[in-house]
Structure 1
Amino acid sequence: MAGRLLLVGRLLLRDLRRRPLETVLLLLAIAAATGTLTMALALDDVAARPYERTRAATAGPDLAVTPHSTGTDALAELAPLTTADGVTGHSGPYPIAYLTMTAAGKKVHTVVEGRDGAPALLDRPAVTSGTWTRPGGVVVERAFADALGVRTGDTVSIEGHDLKVLGTAVTAARAAYPYAQWHYPGSVLVERGGLVWVDPADIAALSGGRPLSYTLNLRLADRNASAGHGSRDVYSSWQEIAEANAGLYRAAQTVLVIGGWLLTGLALAGVAGIVAGRVVARRRRVGLLKAVGAGPAMVAAVHVAEYLAIGLAAAGIGLAAGWFAAPVLISPGAGLIGSVGGSPPALRTVVAAVALALAIAVIATVGPVLRAATTSTVHALADSPSPPRRRGGRIRLSRRLPTAVLLGLRINARRPRRARLVTLNAFVTVTALVGILTVRAQRESFDLGYTEMANPRVERGQQALLVLTVAVCALALVNTVVHTWSAVLDARRPLAVARTLGATPGQAAASVAVAQLLPALLGVAAGLPGGVVLVVLAGTGRIDFPPASWLLATMLAALLVIGAMAAVPALAAARRPVADALRSTPA
């Protein structure tokens, strides 16, 4: 057993050294899929940490209570809660008014909370710029200020009263913009809005005599007991506030999860193409192993060990890249404190990344490896290509086709599995691009009372889309290069024979492009509805589809890129003398 393991290890290292470019391509293909999946899983692991850090820095409450009633009725409703069972501390009640603020030419719903400079047991907003409240001034929640584009020293108007922006701050007692839970007094319907703080002496004048509501912050003996406590519109537990803040990352997470599976399909297509070529190139070594007594299991172990090692290395690369890229992609935002990095990924993230990488390696290699393991010793030592399967109907049809199309069809007939990989590559690529275009066509703003404001989810979603677009395009190009070069190398001798029978170098080169475009055309045609279905299944509510011209241009661009990338190496190969091609060893 030790001798066999040593042999497998030596052959593994030798193969990795002899084919470094293919090894790098395999690593990149698998790492792209695992890295994207890691970023998607990292959203759950790290998105909550900035809120926890903010909650600790600002003494965030376990429960924030805001009754529907106003005035003395609201105070009477809140009074018993301060001495209720399980309550160990409180701050407030603080006056609340649901008003309209005008800033930078925008008129928006605004929750106005009256706070003075006295230290509070719970909910001590952290000032991030400027100073805290004083009469005649306003402090704006930082995410709200960023969305409006206001800074310390600017002037805003609340219900016609001009106030100077004294500073910005963050809190854990209420969700960040745009989820500050603005509503009309007495209504249970919550609308989007932002939060500001003013001096308690100013809030009565700002409200114009309208009855005020109040908010009370509670600390509970069992902090987890607050979950699901009462109506969501009245009781806001820290878990609900954290979930509202985490909602800013949901779009990005959906994009990355779906993108991870799309990249998995591309990785399978690319890895399978590379592995098939590597296994064919080692056919003679398979014969030598069998000649000295190795059985099918040993031959399979020699091949599988290499790809499992590459898969594990790619899992490590993808895991590291995805985890370190996640803080850049999902920056906590202006409404929270701190960064999201600095700790190792969760165990489930590591397990998922390793399992995905190994699954790609195994699924892509099992077919070629089994064929190699079951090849006869004589056939493997002869290192002769498998004879093409001839079908009378196809031959009769091909005789009536142009020369380039005829040769292209016969190239695919010799390697039908490679043609299917080209179809899969084109299908996944166009599906991803159509999905990306459809997502970008969605509305990027929402109504904040009187003004269309930017949706903060869009920023993170667009960042995720950018990552996915780059990864999909890069991996699709790598796959196209791999499939094209495999087709060129495999077709050298058949095309040389065709040239001796009268085919021109141009026809020979065009045949390779045709061999790539025909299966790619099927994938591109299926990718258009595939992308639409993908967005429909992943989306919620109304979906705005991109113009038909965008979709048509995407399909044509995909076909043009595939054709161009196939034509370049085919033209280079066609310039080679026929005699040299016939003397060369088959790939």
Structure 2
Amino acid sequence: MAGRLLLIWRLLVRDLRRHRTETLLLLLAITAATATLTLGLTLHELVARPYEQTRAATAGPDLVVQAGQPGPHSLDALAPLTTLPGVTNHSGPYPLAFLALTAGDTTARVVVEGRDGTPAAVDRPAVTDGTWIRPGGVVVERTFADALGVHVGDTVSVAGHPLGVTGFAVTAARPAYPRAGWHLPGSILTEGGGLVWVERGDIATLAGEQPLSYTVNLRLADPQAGAAVIDPSGGDARFRGWRFSTGQEIADTNGRLNAPAQQALMIGSWLLTALAVVGVAGIVAGRAIGQRRRVGLLKAVGAGPAMIAAVHLAEYLVIALAAAGTGLAVGWLAAPPLFRPTAGLLGSVGMHPPPLRMVAAATALALTIAVAATLAPVLRAAATDTTHALADAAVPPRRRRWVISLSRRLPIALLIGVRINARRPRRAWLVTVNTLITTTALAAALMALAQERSPVDLGYSKLPDARDERTTQAMILVVCVVCFLALLNTVVSTWTAVLSTRHPLAVTRVLGATPAQAGVGLAVAQLLPAIPGVAAGLLLGILTFFAGDDNQHAPASWMLTAGLGVPLAVVALTAIPAVAAARRPVADTLQAGVR
């Protein structure tokens, strides 16, 4: 057993050293798929884990309670809550006013909370820039400040009163912009808005004639109890119209801001998985051509089918594991700077190792890609007859009368391309799938970009929705990686075609075909299966995106550009190597005995 493992290891190291280009292509293909999957999974962590860190750093509450009606009597209603059984600590009540803030040319709804200069026992907003509140100043929630474009030291106006921006801060007691919970006094309907803090003594002046609302932050002995600590029955008329927000509800609200981007990345990861399988299958097909003789030698010295399969699979599994680690690291570290979903929170996932479930998912995906793409060629190699493998003879092509009858009337270059695909139909299918997935991703992305974006309505102004921005970023990222991987697959497919058709093309040239006709024929063999993939991809991309009646079509010029660009890219990537391979001297090819 030890001797077999040593043999597998030595053959593995030898192959990796001799086939560095193919190894790099395999690594890139599987890494792209695992990195995109990791990006999708990381977006959830980018909210869940930093929220936990923010909650710990700011002494976040387990329950935030706001009285149903504004006015001084709210203080009397909130005061008994702080001494209820199950309440271990509290801060407040703090006054609230729902006003308008103007920064430059932008006016927005804003929740103004009056606070003290000294830190509270529960909910201590963490200042990330500048300093905490002082009389005549305002601290702006960091995500809201980013949307407004204000800086520390700027002057903003709240309800017509100029205030200097003393700093930015984050909190775990309210969701980030634009879900800060703005509403009219006495109403339970919330609107989009931001959050700011002012000195408690200034809020009455800012509110003017508007009655103040009040809120209290509670720490519970059982954080899961939530509002049941105050209203066990859930229907007490005394608390009708009150607002109860648990820490989990606030975390979920922040998480929903990233849901569309996460969905786009997860769908993209499946597209890239399919592309990676296509690319790996193409590389394996090319490698199998050059490894037939080694299979025969191994069988000649006594290796059985299981040993042959282990020798071949070991290499791809090792590459898959390396790609899983690389993709996991790339996705985990790239997500924070790409999407910045933690602007309203503290911490970053890149500062901590990824969770075990994410490591397991990336590893399982990489191994699945490797096994799915290599299992069939490996089993065929293991079942190959020893004498046939040692002879390394060409496999007789399958002759179909209708193909022969049709192709004999075609121009020489087109005839060569049709017969190459008829001889290797699996490779043609891989080209079709490659262009189908690529065009589908491009069409869906173009359809998404053509839709009207709904900005956040802030009552007086409208600002772009951060969800749309992150979703667009995710789609562009997926399309870029899809195109990159599709280009790699096209290069691999061309390389495999050149390797497997050297001998037939040499015979074709002996029979009278010119090097140019042979090279163009090889390029045509790549282009023909790409055309139906492009047509089906455009249709599938449009149909996949259309889930509602309000969606809009992308301009026809966009779709036409995508439909022509993909086959043109295939031609450009295949023409040069195909012509170069066709110009190789016929005598050298035939003497080498290479197919």
Fold equivalence (TM over 0.5): yes
Q: 1:235 aligns with which of 232, 236, 244?
A: 244
Single out whichever of 477-486 and 199-208 deviates more from structure 2: 199-208
Contact 1:68 1:234 in 2 (8 A): yes
Contact 2:38 2:332 in 1 (8 A): yes
Matched, 1:559 2:545: no
* Equivalent position of 2:237 in the other structure: none
Contact 2:227 2:244 in 1 (8 A): no
* Equivalent position of 1:287 in the other structure: 296
Q: Deviations over 1:483-523 (max 9, x none)?
A: 01211222222222222333232222221121111111111
Distance 1:228 1:87, change over 3 A: closer
Please give the alpha-carbon distance, in whole angstroms, between the structure 2 residues aligned to 1:183 and 1:470: 42
Matched, 1:155 2:164: no
1:82 CA displacement: 1.7
1:559 CA displacement: 0.9
In percent, how many aligned pairs have the same letter?
Answer: 63
1:218 CA displacement: 0.6
Q: Deviations over 1:346-379 (max 9, x none)?
A: 1111111111111111110111111111111221
Contact 2:46 2:348 in 1 (8 A): no
1:76 CA displacement: 4.0
1:581 CA displacement: 3.0
What is the SS of the residue equivalent to 2:100?
strand
1:307 CA displacement: 1.4
Single out whichever of 42-51 and 258-267 deviates more from structure 2: 42-51
Please give the alpha-carbon distance, in whole angstroms, between the structure 1 residues aligned to 2:289 and 2:560: 38
What is the SS of the residue equivalent to 1:71?
coil
1:28 CA displacement: 1.2
Please give the alpha-carbon distance, in whole angstroms, between the structure 1 residues aligned to 2:345 and 2:258: 13
* Equivalent position of 1:87 in the other structure: 87
Matched, 1:135 2:163: no
Single out whichever of 484-493 and 37-46 deviates more from structure 2: 37-46
* Equivalent position of 1:445 in the other structure: 455
What is the SS of the residue equivalent to 2:350?
coil
* Equivalent position of 1:532 in the other structure: 542
* Equivalent position of 2:203 in the other structure: 203
1:345 CA displacement: 1.5
1:479 CA displacement: 0.6
Contact 1:40 1:253 in 2 (8 A): yes
1:263 CA displacement: 0.9
The one-letter amino acid of 1:399's match is R
Contact 2:178 2:456 in 1 (8 A): no
The one-letter amino acid of 1:460's match is R
Single out whichever of 497-506 and 32-41 deviates more from structure 2: 497-506
Single out whichever of 40-49 and 189-198 deviates more from structure 2: 40-49
Distance 1:176 1:577, change over 3 A: same
* Equivalent position of 2:145 in the other structure: 145
Matched, 1:249 2:258: yes
What is the SS of the residue equivalent to 2:99?
strand
Please give the alpha-carbon distance, in whole angstroms, between the structure 1 residues aligned to 2:225 and 2:327: 39
* Equivalent position of 2:506 in the other structure: 496
* Equivalent position of 2:530 in the other structure: 520
Distance 1:290 1:131, change over 3 A: closer
Contact 1:513 1:570 in 2 (8 A): yes
Contact 2:438 2:486 in 1 (8 A): yes
Q: 1:470 aligns with which of 473, 477, 480?
A: 480
Distance 1:227 1:503, change over 3 A: farther
Q: 1:394 aligns with which of 398, 403, 407?
A: 403
What is the SS of the residue equivalent to 1:253?
helix
Matched, 1:16 2:25: no
Q: Deviations over 1:95-141 (max 9, x none)?
A: 11111222120121111112232432212222333333333332211
The one-letter amino acid of 2:71's match is G
Output the TM-score relative to the length of structure 1: 0.94
1:227 CA displacement: 7.8
Please give the alpha-carbon distance, in whole angstroms, between the structure 2 residues aligned to 1:162 and 1:316: 53
1:201 CA displacement: 3.1
Q: 1:549 aligns with which of 553, 557, 572?
A: 557
Please give the alpha-carbon distance, in whole angstroms, between the structure 1 residues aligned to 2:305 and 2:129: 70
Contact 1:141 1:194 in 2 (8 A): yes
Please give the alpha-carbon distance, in whole angstroms, between the structure 1 residues aligned to 2:129 and 2:303: 73
Q: 2:271 aligns with which of 262, 274, 278?
A: 262
Matched, 1:304 2:309: no
Please give the alpha-carbon distance, in whole angstroms, between the structure 2 residues aligned to 1:502 and 1:406: 13
Write out aligned runs for 1:30-109 (5 A). Answer: 30-109=30-109
CA RMSD of aligned residues (A): 2.2
Contact 1:284 1:381 in 2 (8 A): yes
1:527 CA displacement: 1.3
Q: 1:484 aligns with which of 482, 491, 494?
A: 494
Matched, 1:349 2:362: no
What is the SS of the residue equivalent to 1:224?
coil
Please give the alpha-carbon distance, in whole angstroms, between the structure 2 residues aligned to 1:30 and 1:476: 12
Write out aligned runs for 1:318-357 (5 A). Answer: 318-357=327-366
1:459 CA displacement: 4.1
Output the TM-score relative to the length of structure 2: 0.93
Single out whichever of 488-497 and 61-70 deviates more from structure 2: 488-497
Contact 2:99 2:159 in 1 (8 A): yes
The one-letter amino acid of 1:297's match is A
Please give the alpha-carbon distance, in whole angstroms, between the structure 2 residues aligned to 1:111 and 1:209: 16
1:337 CA displacement: 2.2
What is the SS of the residue equivalent to 2:132?
coil
Q: Deviations over 1:516-571 (max 9, x none)?
A: 1111111111212332344456xx89544432221221121111100111111111
* Equivalent position of 1:115 in the other structure: 115
Matched, 1:177 2:177: yes
Q: 1:577 aligns with which of 579, 582, 585?
A: 585
Please give the alpha-carbon distance, in whole angstroms, between the structure 2 residues aligned to 1:130 and 1:491: 69
Contact 2:46 2:341 in 1 (8 A): no
Q: Deviations over 1:231-259 (max 9, x none)?
A: 99811111111222223322332222111
Distance 1:84 1:234, change over 3 A: same
Please give the alpha-carbon distance, in whole angstroms, between the structure 2 residues aligned to 1:475 and 1:191: 43
Contact 1:91 1:218 in 2 (8 A): yes
Instruction: Give the count of matched residue pairs.
Output: 585
1:72 CA displacement: 3.6
Q: 2:521 aligns with which of 511, 516, 521?
A: 511
* Equivalent position of 1:314 in the other structure: 323
Distance 1:511 1:228, change over 3 A: farther
Please give the alpha-carbon distance, in whole angstroms, between the structure 2 residues aligned to 1:143 and 1:542: 30
Q: Deviations over 1:407-457 (max 9, x none)?
A: 111011111111111111111111222233333334163222221202223
1:402 CA displacement: 2.1
Distance 1:453 1:388, change over 3 A: same
What is the SS of the residue equivalent to 1:498?
helix
The one-letter amino acid of 1:519's match is P
Please give the alpha-carbon distance, in whole angstroms, between the structure 2 residues aligned to 1:362 and 1:574: 34
Please give the alpha-carbon distance, in whole angstroms, between the structure 2 residues aligned to 1:474 and 1:454: 30
The one-letter amino acid of 2:135's match is P
Q: Deviations over 1:250-303 (max 9, x none)?
A: 233222211111111111000000001111211111122222222222222221
Structure 2 unaligned blocks of 5 or more:
235-239
Distance 1:162 1:410, change over 3 A: same
Please give the alpha-carbon distance, in whole angstroms, between the structure 1 residues aligned to 2:228 and 2:515: 74
Contact 1:93 1:215 in 2 (8 A): yes
Contact 1:332 1:338 in 2 (8 A): no
